[in-house]
Amino acid sequence: MTGRPLPDADPPLLVACALGIERFALRGGDRGRPDKAVVLRTGMGPQAAERALGKALRDGSATARSPVVASGFCAGLVPGMLPGDVVVARTTRDHRPDAPEVHCRDNGPLLRALRQRGLTVHTGLLQGSDHVVRGAERAELHAAGAVAVDMESAATLREAVRAGIRPVAAVRVVVDAPEHELVRIGTVRGGISAFRVLRSVLPVFFEWHRSLLLPRR
């Protein structure tokens, strides 16, 4: 459920996140290149993400054909994960059992660039949820194959590919993990670590976007 847009124009990258603190962190990595990316705050939850993406990708908008990155924070599911680890989705799966999975086929450059920056990067299934996941449910999702969970990525990418063929990716920063559950972002060291990592990743998204525009050999 993904592909490449037609090469007749170079639309800006669309980076979607749910929370104001996530948008603040991502815009902190803008590095003076606001024309290269639009950082869209969707609001919290899958329904809000779908509505916001539907508006941003409607025909005639500046981002109608943009590649889409779902970003922000997530809950890690793999034992040993730490706040500040990065998750790059190979696949996203919506919380609705009848929704098709979305495959992120162009994430190789993202993985390489993030690891070159010295970040700990995990890849695999990023599970969608319509609520905050805690305790035993976290272990159940991991047993079902997911490496991390959040409420917006799967809905964001599902809406993105529904609106037209385009590259999509989901890159999330672990803010809490099985051994490091977080009650409120920014109140403990783990939240601060995750914020700093999220603040650093937008240049990597620019590199990924640029790689999509290069001719295939």
Segment 19-56, tens digit of pLDDT: 999 999 998 755 555 557 899 999 999 999 999 999 99
Closest-CA residue to 148 (of 74, 70, 44, 49):
74
Q: Determine the longest span between alpha carbons in the chain, in angstroms.
A: 49
Residue of 59, 78, 152 lying closest to 122 (CA atoms): 78
**Structural domains of the chain in order of their starting residue, each with its CATH number:** 13-213 (3.40.50.1580)
Residue 99: predicted pLDDT = 83
Give residue-wise pLDDT tens across range 153-210: 999 999 999 999 999 999 999 998 876 666 544 444 567 889 999 999 999 999 999 8
pLDDT at 177: 80
Global pTM reads 0.89
